[in-house]
Structure 1
Amino acid sequence: MSTETIVGSRGLADLLKSETWDLHKEAETTGFINQVLRGTASLPSYISFLKNLKPIYETMESSRRWLETYPRLKPYIGEPIARTHAIETDLVHLRTFCKKPVCPAISPNTLTYQADIKKALMQNHPAMLAHIYVRYLGDLNGGLVLQRLLGKNFGLPEECLNFYNFPKIDNVSGFKKDFRKALNDIALPEDDEDRAIEAAKNAFRFNVALSTTLTG
Structure 2
Amino acid sequence: MALSSALREATMAVHERAHHSTYMAALLDGRLPLEAYTLLAEQYLGVYGALEAKATELADHPAAGPFVIDELRRMPALVADVEALGGSVSAPRLLPETEVYVERLRAADAPRFVAHHYTRYLGDLAGGQIIGTLLARTYGVTGAGALFYDFSALGSPSRFRARYRALLDSAPWDEIEQRRVCDEAVRAFELNIALLDGMAATTRAAA
Superposed pair shares fold, TM > 0.5: yes
Aligned counterparts, 1:1-216, within 5 A:
10-62=1-53, 63-67=55-59, 68-70=61-63, 74=66, 76-95=67-86, 105-120=93-108, 124-186=109-171, 188-215=173-200, 216=204
Counterpart-to-counterpart distance in 1, 2:138 and 2:144: 15
Q: Which runs of 4+ in 1 moved over 3 A?
A: none
Kindly state the Cα deviation for residue 44 of structure 1 after the two structures are TM-superposed: 1.6
Which SS does the other structure have where 2:154 is aligned?
Answer: coil
Q: Is the 8 A contact 2:45 2:92 kept in 1?
A: no
Counterpart-to-counterpart distance in 1, 2:187 and 2:181: 10
Counterpart-to-counterpart distance in 2, 1:131 and 1:84: 16
The one-letter code matched in structure 1 to 2:194 is A
Kindly state the Cα deviation for residue 150 of structure 1 after the two structures are TM-superposed: 2.2
| Gaps in structure 1 of 5+ consecutive residues | 1-9, 97-102
Kindly state the Cα deviation for residue 19 of structure 1 after the two structures are TM-superposed: 0.9
Which SS does the other structure have where 1:158 is aligned?
Answer: coil
Counterpart-to-counterpart distance in 2, 1:104 and 1:60: 16
| Gaps in structure 2 of 5+ consecutive residues | none
Kindly state the Cα deviation for residue 50 of structure 1 after the two structures are TM-superposed: 1.0
Give the TM-score taking structure 2 as reference length.
0.85
Aligned length: 196
Q: Is the 8 A contact 1:36 1:150 kept in 2?
A: no
Which moved further from structure 2: 144-153 or 47-56?
Answer: 144-153
Give the TM-score taking structure 1 as reference length.
0.82
Matched-pair identity in %: 26
